[in-house]
Structure 1
């Protein structure tokens, strides 16, 4: 198996150790952190019932458990501890547009590895995890469940969709699944207060997709991992190039002027995408597939 074109189970399982080197997602409380250690603006945090104890003078009467008080014939109050778990939901693009690279691994492989690292990070933190993994024609949804229950299903989906790409690439069938349609189907599975990671090149983000992201952002934290091949930065000064996309082929001579135009076009697109997502309150991480993924995630996550 060519590791630059597709991932295997061994690769995804090996990410468990590397995931320990990642910081917690935005707003997450690190395991073992003391309550009150910092001011928190995070969503999805509350109080979990811990135990009952006898009422003591000065206790807040609003904490009295009236059922226990009636049953035991003396005042008892409910004790709470801080809820530290935060659901994590991964949205992972495995469409043909992601099956691209000029050097090193494809964008689809990088996306699968990023999702694997974040999934294992949830495992270590004990956070519920869910996912939406999608191709050009299908998608698979996993609602947020305990990581011990759901991690195998998430990894299976990543493997299945990623390993289909080399076989599907020669056909280049038109896409029927869009980023916006996946967001729409996944919305009802994402609990309020979740941290959502969208891993894609965002090539088809349109107005409806932005509206869905805006609605999701009102109740969740969102990080966008924009995967890209930095061909525009490594183009030769001149020469003959060939390109093929969905049945269309072209050959052209690269001139210094054309090189500059390509660089400016790609740079403008990436800058425009970042501005659009940032305006929605989404944290944007640009991931270059030829660079070390873990180091890039350590800077961005």
Structure 2
């Protein structure tokens, strides 16, 4: 596959019509639970019926909160800025962290990892709004963009449109996961759940500490996207590759060659799996040939307390 192909064919470039059409696939999945954004102070999630502007609670001010809703009395008493939350804001909010680093522009079967990640993100958006969540997306890596959470079909359409647009932009430099998580922590916009979609090559030594900080604010799940060549030792043979217009072959014959190649190719998935295992995060691995729906339902479709 050629990473420079400009056509949005759903293989090397994201196809917006496909992302929109995934709505019908998600509509046939079991409906997700509708839960409120309860705080970690012992409150339990409860189902919501409709919206209202009744006062719900106050919490520590976060970047992006409306200053017109500051809780000045609690701020004065505590010495820490607090903002008021109203009943409509207790809806769940899902923030998708989407890896757009250069390593995602790779694929040997069916599609690039970047395209599979986009498909998974779109399915997550359609699934979240079925459960009355608002949904937004934060791109990190080659693109560093934010779409704030929105509700309903309009929110899922906005996610699909943003992902397709970002996929067609000139790439910037790579970004470590720790840097991305630091940005996410500042740009949560009240998100109660976070879904990280990545191939893991951005995982660095500082990611664990940053992830711990994020876990303190929201429930985090991880979808690891991998090419089949990254998930096992390849058979002996000649493997053609293309990178930025340059074509070359990798010849693998000996057992040691193949083992070293498999270790190198699988490094990202191992890093991400180790991070999730160490922190007890919910994780699924998705290869580029699979339907993302089962993984999305497994990660987002179970009612969980905060």
Does the Cα contact within 8 Å between 1:89 and 1:130 map onto a contact in 2? Answer: yes
Q: Which moved more, 1:291-300 or 1:241-250?
A: 241-250
Structure 2 unaligned blocks of 5 or more: 1-6, 55-86, 301-306
CA shift for structure 1 position 293: 2.1
Partner of 2:161: 156
Residue from 11, 14, 33 that aligns with 1:7: 14
Partner of 2:151: 146
Does the Cα contact within 8 Å between 1:47 and 1:83 map onto a contact in 2? Answer: no
Aligned-partner SS, 2:206:
helix
Partner of 1:132: 138
Partner of 2:296: 297
Aligned-partner SS, 2:21:
helix
Give 1:170-189 correspondences, 5 Å limit: 175-189=173-187
CA shift for structure 1 position 268: 6.7
Deviations 1:58-104 (A, max 9, x none): xxxxxxxxxxxxxxxxxxxxxxx999731111111123211110111
CA shift for structure 1 position 23: 5.0
Given the alignment of the two structures, is residue 228 of structure 1 paired with residue 234 of structure 2, yes or no? Answer: no
Does the Cα contact within 8 Å between 1:144 and 1:189 map onto a contact in 2? Answer: no
Partner of 2:62: none
CA shift for structure 1 position 245: 5.5
Deviations 1:30-83 (A, max 9, x none): 79xxxxxxxxx997836989899xxxxxxxxxxxxxxxxxxxxxxxxxxxx999
CA shift for structure 1 position 155: 2.1
Aligned-partner SS, 1:139:
coil
| Structure number, greater radius of gyration | 1
Aligned-partner SS, 1:284:
strand
Aligned-partner SS, 1:223:
strand
User: Are residues 8 and 279 of structure 1, via their aligned partners in 2, closer, same or farther at CA, if it must alter by over 3 Å?
Assistant: same
CA shift for structure 1 position 237: 3.2
Q: Which moved more, 1:124-133 or 1:82-91?
A: 82-91
Residue from 27, 41, 48 that aligns with 1:20: 27
CA RMSD, Structure 1 to Structure 2 (Å): 3.8
Aligned-partner SS, 2:25:
helix
Given the alignment of the two structures, is residue 121 of structure 1 paired with residue 165 of structure 2, yes or no? Answer: no
Distance 2:147 2:209 in 1: 23
State the TM-score, normalizing by the size of structure 1. Answer: 0.70
Distance 2:271 2:179 in 1: 22
Distance 2:21 2:148 in 1: 24
CA shift for structure 1 position 118: 0.8
Distance 2:237 2:47 in 1: 63
CA shift for structure 1 position 244: 5.6
Partner of 1:65: none
Partner of 1:254: 252
Partner of 1:277: 276
Distance 1:186 1:201 in 2: 18
User: Are residues 160 and 217 of structure 1, via their aligned partners in 2, closer, same or farther at CA, if it must alter by over 3 Å?
Assistant: same
Distance 1:105 1:95 in 2: 16
User: Are residues 202 and 267 of structure 1, via their aligned partners in 2, closer, same or farther at CA, if it must alter by over 3 Å?
Assistant: closer
Given the alignment of the two structures, is residue 107 of structure 1 paired with residue 113 of structure 2, yes or no? Answer: yes
Distance 2:230 2:204 in 1: 23
